[in-house]
Amino acid sequence: MYKSTEAGVTDRSAISDVFTVADEILKTAKREGLRLTPMQLVKLAYIAHGWSLAIMGRPLFSEPVEAWKYGPVIPALYHATKHHGRNPIPSELIDEEAESPLTERVRSFLEDFVKKYGRLSGVALSSLTHRHGTPWHQVYRKGVGNIPIDDARIAAHYKQKLDEYRNSAS
């Protein structure tokens, strides 16, 4: 299923499920004084998943990612949060002190990630995922819904971005 040598995916087992990852993103955002809309949360979970594939060589979650009209979506997370509409997810629903089943490494990864991307609006995050050459751009077809975006494609894209960053930093 994965192309380990091309995409850098070395371990096919997901680190967690999308809801645990989303909870950790929300907890970190709350500690940072941020309130996230469902759109932001879905985009952040997707982008974090991509960076996890590139950096840690593992998918953050096993739930499928699909190309929808407005970008990559994790349907399970979208359907669980869509009732909030364009409003931020209420702070009182987020217990930032709740114990996390994620490892310290993954929590640290997500904390750094939220600090970097968490202040971006849903529209700005969507713009990042719609650029030419992104996995969404590669598979989306107008008028066709629920097109799967496989992890190998996501991993290859974020590995390329990681390589570009490393090359520009040296």
Tell me the residue range of the domain where 164 lies: 4-169
Both tokens of 31, joined, read: 């500690």
pTM for the complete prediction?
0.90
Give CA–CA dist 96/25, Å, rounded: 10
Encode 5-53 in three state secondary structure: HHHCCCCCCCCECHHHHHHHHHHHHHHCCCCCCHHHHHHHHHHHHHHHH
Model confidence over 71-110: pLDDT tens digits?
999 999 999 999 999 999 998 888 888 899 999 999 999 9
Q: Is 96 helix (H, G, I), strand (E, B) or coil?
A: coil
Q: What is the DSSP letter of 119?
A: T
Closest CA to 59 of 109, 119, 117: 109
Q: Give the DSSP H or E segment for 67.
A: strand 66-68
Per-residue confidence (pLDDT) for residue 14, from 0 to 100: 86
Mean pLDDT, residues 128-139:
96
| Greater model confidence, 93 or 11 | 93
Closest CA to 86 of 117, 120, 122: 122
Per-residue confidence (pLDDT) for residue 95, from 0 to 100: 87
Mean pLDDT, residues 1-12:
37
φ, ψ of residue 83 to 5 degrees: the values are -65, -15
Mean pLDDT, residues 57-82:
96
Give CA–CA dist 39/88, Å, rounded: 9
Both tokens of 4, joined, read: 């380990």
Per-residue confidence (pLDDT) for residue 5, from 0 to 100: 30
Per-residue confidence (pLDDT) for residue 6, from 0 to 100: 35
Count of structural domains within the chain:
1
Percent of the chain exceeding pLDDT 70 equals 93
Model confidence over 13-43: pLDDT tens digits?
888 999 999 999 999 999 999 999 999 999 9
* Amino acid identity for residue 31 in this structure: R
